[in-house]
Chain A
Amino acid sequence: MMWSQEVLALSRRWLLILLRERLNLLFSVLQPAVWLVFFAGALGGAMDPRAVGTDDYIAFAVPGIIAFTVVGNGVTAAMPLLFDKETGYLDKLLSMPIRRSSLIVSRFVFQVGMNSAQVVVILLVALVLGVRPASGPLGVLAILVATALLTLALTAAAMALACAVPSHGTFFAITGFASLPLLFMSNAFVPLSAMPGWMETVARANPLTYAIEAMRLLVLDGWSGGVPLSLGALVVASALLLAVGSWQFARQTSERIA
């Protein structure tokens, strides 16, 4: 009961700040749709349908755009923790009788809500462009589940990094360096089969690949055995990154009393 009150109160903080920063909200919602229209639209003509397995490249790219959005939001998800750490507000929060986990879980709750809203916008824009998920309305729900799992994984990873680095400068240097390779070392915009062998091996170790694979099957092919398999791999990756995130957060607060 108290735990839910803490999580809701902290989530309210993020939501109020987001609603006050209207330009931030507007561009956050529009950005993925713009990517879908311009990026997928431009590349579509240059893609060989035999390589990507479909002549509808926009449908192929929808899961990639969703993953791209979640990667970008993973970085912003960790920013409040980073700034609370640097401004001292984290200490104020830790002097209150709240559970440490509330600080992390509230961010997951907020971020899953935010990412889900963006995914709905992406799917609506895709619908306007003629993309209808082959798995139907239930498939849309499954896409939202895959998004939530990927959000959990990437938010945990970004928060672990925020705890580990000495300053926000280092955080942005590392995330700026890693974000695009993380995306391109996955099946976001080209299938694994079209990659060089070494790149395919790296991509298979990338949690993004499994989220995208599950979503792509749901959009292009409908329900198949590959969906639960990919979601299962995503659950494992999320659990691992959550463990790393929790360990780093515990380290961050280890100088403090638990």
Chain B
Amino acid sequence: MGLIIETERLSRSFGDRLAVDGLALAIAPGEIFGLLGPNGAGKTTTIRMLATLLPPSGGAARVCGFDVVGAAGEVRKRIGYVMQQVSPMGYYMLTGREKTEIEAALYHVPRRQVKARAGEVLDLVGLSEDADRLVQEYSGGMQKRLDLACGLLHRPELLILDEPTLGLDVPSRHRMWDHIRSLCDQGMTVLLATNYMDEADRLCDRLTIIDHGREVVSGTPAELKEATGAPSLDDVFLRHTGHALREEAE
């Protein structure tokens, strides 16, 4: 089977500002692949291009074998995208089950299977008991799990998670990690953008650190720590990006 994500010299600029600069990614089926970088490094812009929301300014990207521009519709059928932060305002008056059923229909789950599939994914993320409560009553962690459940409705080949544990407390983060691991055990490929090095260390098979839109270093967490002699991924990150030093200088 070919690569799930393959990019060549992928670039995106906004006016004069180059947000992503010649990025080359190669992600195999079944991997949890981490995209790491400081705030503003280009993670979300990269993800938005891979999720077919933003056309690249240069280079090319193929997801599940399809070009993100030329065959965007085919890509959308095969990916689940869990965004960094979506305010629940647009559906806060719906229950978790209603939101999930509506999104199941939008993902073209056959009409007769919508209820059953919504129940399955809610069960998968541990929200069955709270499925009939309004989303406005959910905690931040429950809302993130609901977003994850909705991203799984159409059994995507690739799950794109943009900062899935941002703002969550420790038990909620661990719970989310368990869900991500179990999805990977079932053969799903996961692209995980995160700011948390411990999260990447625990979950990712391989990762790329980017800064200023460019690849800085790639490898498995163990390889990166070994190559730099750093005790943790935090230290690898700081050594390669010099981010802490830059912030101090600023």
Interface set of A (CB-CB < 8 Å, partner B): 2, 5-6, 8-10, 12-13, 16-17, 20-21, 80, 83-84, 87-89, 91-98, 255-258
19 CB < 8 A contacts A-B: A5-B105, A5-B108, A5-B111, A10-B102, A13-B94, A16-B98, A17-B91, A17-B93, A20-B93, A20-B94, A80-B90, A87-B89, A88-B83, A89-B91, A91-B48, A91-B53, A96-B106, A97-B77, A257-B54
Evaluate contact between B54 and A255: CB separation under 8 angstroms: yes
Contact B86 A257 (CB under 8 A): no
Query: Closest residue of chain B to A8, judged by CB?
Result: B105
- List, in ascending order, chain A residues with CB within 8 A of B69's CB: 257
Query: In the bound complex, do residue A257 and residue B55 qualify as a contact, i.e. CB atoms below 8 Å apart?
Result: yes
Q: Which of A6, A87, A93 has the most CB of B within 10 A?
A: A87
In Å, the complex CA distance between A250 and B51 comes to: 18
From A80, A93, A95, A258, contact of B79 by CB (8 A): A95
Bound CA span A80–B87, Å: 13
Residues of B contacting A2 in the complex (Cβ-Cβ under 8 angstroms): 108
Is A96 a contact of B53 with CB atoms below 8 Å? no
Residues from chain B with Cβ under 8 Å of A87 in the complex: 86-87, 89-90
What's the A-B contact tally at a CB cutoff of 8 Å?
Answer: 85
Chain B contacts for A21, CB-based, 8 A: 93
Using a CB–CB cutoff of 8 Å, the interface residues on chain B facing chain A are 48, 51-55, 68-69, 72-73, 76-77, 79, 81, 83, 85-87, 89-91, 93-94, 98, 102-103, 105-108, 111, 134
Q: Assess whether A16 is in contact with B93, with CB atoms less than 8 Å apart.
A: yes
> Which of B81, B87, B93, B102 is the one whose CB lies under 8 Å from A95?
B81
* B90 touching A89, Cβ below 8 Å: yes
Known contacts A16-B98, A91-B53; A258/B108 CB under 8 A:
no
State how many angstroms separate the Cβ of B158 from the closest Cβ of chain A: 12
Taking a contact as CB atoms under 8 Å apart, the answer to whether B87 and A92 are in contact is no
CA distance A5 to B111 in the complex (A): 8
Cα distance A95–B106 in the bound complex, in angstroms: 11
Pair A13/B102 contact, Cβ less than 8 Å: yes
Contact between A257 and B106, CB atoms less than 8 A apart: no
Query: Using Cβ atoms and an 8 Å threshold, which residues of chain A touch B51?
Result: 95
Q: Which residue of A lies closest to B55 (CB)?
A: A257
- Nearest B residue (CB) for A2: B108
Q: Which residues of B lie under 8 Å from residue A95 when comparing CB positions?
A: 51-53, 76, 79, 81
